[in-house]
Structure 1
Amino acid sequence: MKKDGTPVPNHRSPFIVGYGGSGVIKNIGKDCCKAAVDNNLSIGKKVAFLGDANRNGSYASHILVDYRLVVPLDDEVNLAEAATVPLAGCTAYESLEKVGLKIGFSPSTEEGNPVTTTGLGKTLLIVGGSGGVGSWTTLLASALYPDLRIICTTSSPESREWCLKLGATSTIDHGSVNDLGGGRNGSVDYIICLSEPTKELFGSLAEVVKPLGKICLVVAGDGIKSLDMSFIFFKSCTVCTETVFSSCRSGFILNQKDQIGQIFSLFSLGKIKFFPLAPGWKGIAGTLDWKSALQDGGVMDVLSSGHCRGKLVMKIAEDKDLDHVDTVT
């Protein structure tokens, strides 16, 4: 069954979920051997990969992945760390770019150095800052825009502490967005919304966003069908949406392999100091032994609670085979 309770179509059953992770290349298709060599991909190579929504996912010991979504890993990055990057990292990357906070490398800069501007005088609001995508959004924004004011919404003292560790300037309660100040002038330049845009929440975002500001909606739910755009219209704001699967569904219009690679480069350059693995993740049932994932208090319980800090990963492999680590959120 799908999340909404409808059955999976017969032609997609059994349906395997999971769309990002890391592992070791076991084989290479004969039609992409040259492309694999050109992209430094070879059998036995450690890689990170983004899944394709048109194929079965990565909750499996083996997965077929398009080479255009695969990135080779340096030895300094372990598979658990690498698995946090493709799905959540790309979503964060593309969301930041869509609101105008560019991350991409520039040919005019010294090779290997990303473009950075300070972000002085600008404010970014991240709604839902402590989850997997929120963690990567905060890390990337604070790494590349050191003077940017980053505000994360949180729901607990632990989440607040986590967001500040990631580089947030401050945090507010989920229900206190209006306290930032709004009206015709607003108070926030950029908004990345990682929660369903309910009528109440979107009304608050419309209130606090500045004229000509930008809002990126990452979660689609029933609320997105009936957004009140009236105040947004009179502020001449931009509202966009984000899903990493749009690219592969439309002929790979984005170079997501490079996006993933740039995130790893930020780590190599010391711009990002750590990967946002959930605190104590190894102690959660199912992370190191997928057969325990459905236990009470296991990884699936933690995910469904909606209160996970950082990124959870789950190793899906036989006991003696530690090659494959798959992301689960």
Structure 2
Amino acid sequence: MQAIRVDSQGGTSASLELVELPVPTLTEPFDILTRVPGKIVGWDASGVVEAAGPRALFKPGDFVYYCGEYDRPGCNSQLQLVDSRIVGRKPAKLSWEDAAAVPVIGITSWEMFVEKFRWAPHGDNGADTTLLIVNAAGGVGTMALLLASKVFSIKRIIATASRPETIDWVKKFGATDVLNHREPLGPQLEALQLNPSHALLCHDDTNYIAQLATHMRPAGHIGSIVNADSIPFGGSAMFRALTFSWGLTFSKSMFKYDLESQHRILNELADLVDDGTIPSMVTVRKEFGLQALREGHDLQESGRVYGKIAFTVLERWS
């Protein structure tokens, strides 16, 4: 089968190379082997089950989507092995590439809201709950905006964005207020007389945590999906009794805990797509191949992309 991998040098889009690899074989009882006609830059994919292990949750011919596993080969290949317990049924209303854009951003947002913030979907999550999302025009930020407004019924959602097109984008997906993340957040929150009860950081948490520690509501909750070696809370966070939580979609598959929760989340998200709650968030579409993937990586690293980049996969690549 064809695959695109990072060569031994690594580090840049130029290090990607097109290779021929053996077709993977099923190794674990829950595994499925999928043919991948839709994918994004990274791990997400949608595809058709070609083979299934004896305990797999899907059978050959099923249409599925998933975010893959951090410690197994990703989706930049024609066929991919994945544990079926972190796989969901593909939304019927989305194309292959649009479906592939959902899993990571959907699971990341859902797990933060339900498992960390303890919000209930379609429930009462507090009339005065106020959510701040930093970098709200990115993939996770966009999905978080939509879910917070449409599924978790949060009435006040503050988004950060800095360009006219991204400001319009976050308003489209549910932001009630917009701050410029290129300027200090504190004075902007003070001007709106807002103290968020919850915050989701999708970019540069070491910069924004220090700012939010003095402007969050007492007993507030900050969630971050950004890796950092240290968290600069300081005394203000302690005095306000703030809670901090990490979010990482791949944690469950890496450490083999609560795997089927992601199967359930993906099926819930598929229902929300098919009932019209979640639209496509793809803003850049490409035909999959070595040069297209390089361009996709460069776009992702530029910091100028909002929404998602998705690829349509043909039988042979170039």
- Per the normalisation by structure 2, the TM-score is 0.80
Task: Tell me the alpha carbon deviations over residues 208-245 of structure 1, each in whole angstroms, 9 at most, x when there is no partner.
Answer: 21110000011013xx4252332111111101111111
Q: Is the 8 A contact 2:122 2:151 kept in 1?
A: yes
Which amino acid in 2 is paired with 1:156?
R
Q: Give the SS at the match of 2:82.
A: coil
Distance in 2 (alpha carbons) for counterparts of 1:147 and 1:90: 18
Aligned-pair CA distance for 1:44? 2.1
Q: Give the SS at the match of 2:165.
A: helix
Aligned residue number for residue 262 of structure 2: 256
Alignment of 1:6-45 (within 5 A): 18-29=42-53, 32=54, 35-36=55-56, 39=57, 41-45=58-62
Q: Count matched residues.
A: 278
Question: Unpaired runs of 5+ in structure 2?
Answer: 1-8, 13-40
Aligned residue number for residue 9 of structure 1: none
Task: Tell me the alpha carbon deviations over residues 242-262 of structure 1, each in whole angstroms, 9 at most, x when there is no partner.
Answer: 111111122232511111111
Q: Give the SS at the match of 1:88.
A: helix
Aligned residue number for residue 74 of structure 2: 57
Alignment of 1:146-185 (within 5 A): 146-174=153-181, 175-181=183-189
Q: Is the 8 A contact 2:148 2:154 kept in 1?
A: no
Alignment of 1:240-251 (within 5 A): 240-251=245-256
Q: Give the SS at the match of 2:308.
A: coil
Distance in 2 (alpha carbons) for counterparts of 1:97 and 1:3: 35
Q: What is the RMSD of the two structures over their aligned residues, measured on CA atoms?
A: 2.5
1:90 aligns to 2:95 (yes or no): no
Question: Unpaired runs of 5+ in structure 1?
Answer: 5-16, 104-113, 321-329
Alignment of 1:197-236 (within 5 A): 197-198=205-206, 200-221=207-228, 224-236=229-241
Distance in 2 (alpha carbons) for counterparts of 1:294 and 1:53: 19
Aligned residue number for residue 292 of structure 2: 293
Q: 1:234 to 1:2 in 2, by over 3 A?
A: farther
Task: Tell me the alpha carbon deviations over residues 254-303 of structure 1, each in whole angstroms, 9 at most, x when there is no partner.
Answer: 5111111111112223333x12112xx23xxxx213233256xx322211
Task: Tell me the alpha carbon deviations over residues 140-168 of structure 1, each in whole angstroms, 9 at most, x when there is no partner.
Answer: 11112345211111120100000111111
Q: 1:180 to 1:211 in 2, by over 3 A?
A: farther
Aligned-pair CA distance for 1:119? 4.4
Q: Is the 8 A contact 1:180 1:187 kept in 2?
A: no
1:266 aligns to 2:276 (yes or no): no
Aligned-pair CA distance for 1:123? 0.8
Deviates more, 1:116-125 or 1:235-244: 116-125
Aligned-pair CA distance for 1:50? 2.1
Match 2:282 to one of 270, 274, 277 = 277
Q: Is the 8 A contact 2:89 2:266 kept in 1?
A: no
Distance in 2 (alpha carbons) for counterparts of 1:288 and 1:99: 37
Alignment of 1:307-318 (within 5 A): 307-318=304-315
Distance in 1 (alpha carbons) for counterparts of 2:92 and 2:160: 35
Q: Give the SS at the match of 2:160.
A: strand
Which amino acid in 1 is paired with 2:241?
S
Q: 1:261 to 1:163 in 2, by over 3 A?
A: same
Distance in 1 (alpha carbons) for counterparts of 2:42 and 2:154: 36
